[in-house]
Amino acid sequence: MAVFTPVSLDDLSGWITQFPLGKALSIRGISSGIENSNFFINTDSGEYVLTLFEKLEAEQLPFYLELMRHLAERGILVPAPVANRDGKILHQLNGKPAAIVSKLAGESQLAPQPVHCAELGAMLACMHMAAEDFPIRQPNLRGLEWWLQTTPTVLPYLPPELQQLLSSEVKFQQDFAAGQVYAELPLGPVHADLFRNNAMFVGENLTGIFDFYFAGCDTWLFDLAVTVNDWCVDLDSGALDLPRLQAMLDAYRAVRPFTAAEQQAWQPMLRAAALRFWLSRLYDFYMPRAAEMLTPHDPGHFERILRLRISEAVPALA
């Protein structure tokens, strides 16, 4: 279970008095998440999620929490940080930065159908536009700079064929990011980790998206590509599932039409999104921290996705 810092009901009971939530009634660790310790907490006023930030730097946290507040205030269905009596949303518990956010109703849809992908695509476009005027800027900390820095660390562990794939793809992405098309892509705060387990549905209705702790400023197209590479692929083969892909793109496009630059950048961006997760999984696989030992992800999944995004024709965005 991914709880690194235990929190007892006793710990919680005193701490929670700064919020107008009444008494803490119960606390229960959540077994997902590799970056934070998460808990469902029950209070007199309802159920919430408590997060203790294990690795994120204190100066990065306002970006994530204020972004969630900004989006929630604009009606985007995301967990809303709970302010204490002084209006503060970032706190300290058991020596760690901590926050309480509202709990989304529903469950993750791990076998999404086109209707789910359409819901998500539309909300993603709305989210991009709602975040456009968010005043805090923080880069995607798992972007190109991180790829360039991390690649030399993992390369020595890889067999020659994978060394070749990784090196050449990073080079390709470096060139792509330096080009004119990339420079024209619209950008802003993005989720950057919108996998199937980070959205909730009640039936076919999307009730919200969560886990903004990889969010950062990046191109909107990158965010869409990350999302497509998880929601619209066959998880065994990594191949794109065209009905789901079409549903997501149609719904996104209906809210915000794609620019000419985005249409040109689509296939390179799908590769970039695959590279980002292949690389982080390689890194976690070969350089495991205590946390990742508990929830190993197979790097091969995104290696397959990357190979397919390189080799296969990708339907045009237009």
Scan for tokens 């209070």, then name that residue. Answer: 43
Scan for tokens 């820095």, then name that residue. Answer: 149
Binding residue (CB under 8 A) for its own copies from 36, 37, 38, 43: 43
Scan for tokens 């067999």, then name that residue. Answer: 159
Contact 221/184 with Cβ under 8 angstroms?
Answer: no
Cβ-defined contacts of 150-158 (< 8 Å, 24+) = 150/279, 150/280, 150/283, 151/279, 153/283, 153/287, 154/279, 154/282, 154/283, 154/286, 154/287, 157/282, 157/286, 158/282
Binding residue (CB under 8 A) for its own copies from 251, 282, 305, 317: 251
Which phi and psi angles does 135 have, rounded to 5°? Answer: -80, -20
Binding residue (CB under 8 A) for its own copies from 123, 194, 245, 269: 123
CB of 122 to its own copies, least distance (A): 4
117 sits near its own copies (criterion: CB under 8 A)? no
Q: What would the two tokens of residue 171 be? A: 């080079």
Contact segment (CB under 8 A) with its own copies among 130-138, 145-153, 174-182, 294-302 equals 130-138
In the DSSP assignment, the letter for residue 81 is: B
Nearest to 124 by CA among 32, 305, 248, 238: 248
65 sits near its own copies (criterion: CB under 8 A)? no
Scan for tokens 């209006």, then name that residue. Answer: 87
d(C-alpha 313, C-alpha 318), whole Å:
14
248 sits near its own copies (criterion: CB under 8 A)? no
Binding residue (CB under 8 A) for its own copies from 48, 63, 147, 231: 48
Binding residue (CB under 8 A) for its own copies from 1, 10, 14, 22: 22
244 sits near its own copies (criterion: CB under 8 A)? no
Q: What would the two tokens of residue 222 be? A: 């990158």
CB of 93 to its own copies, least distance (A): 16
Q: What would the two tokens of residue 134 be? A: 């968010």
- Nearer to its own copies by C-beta: 103 or 297? 103
- Nearer to its own copies by C-beta: 86 or 161? 86
Tell me, residue by residue from 86 to 105, as one string, x for binding to its own copies by CB under 8 A and - for no binding: -x------------x-x--x
Contact positions toward its own copies, by CB under 8 A? 19-23, 43-48, 69, 72-77, 80, 82-85, 87, 100, 102, 105, 122-123, 125-127, 129-130, 132-133, 202, 205-207, 251, 254-255
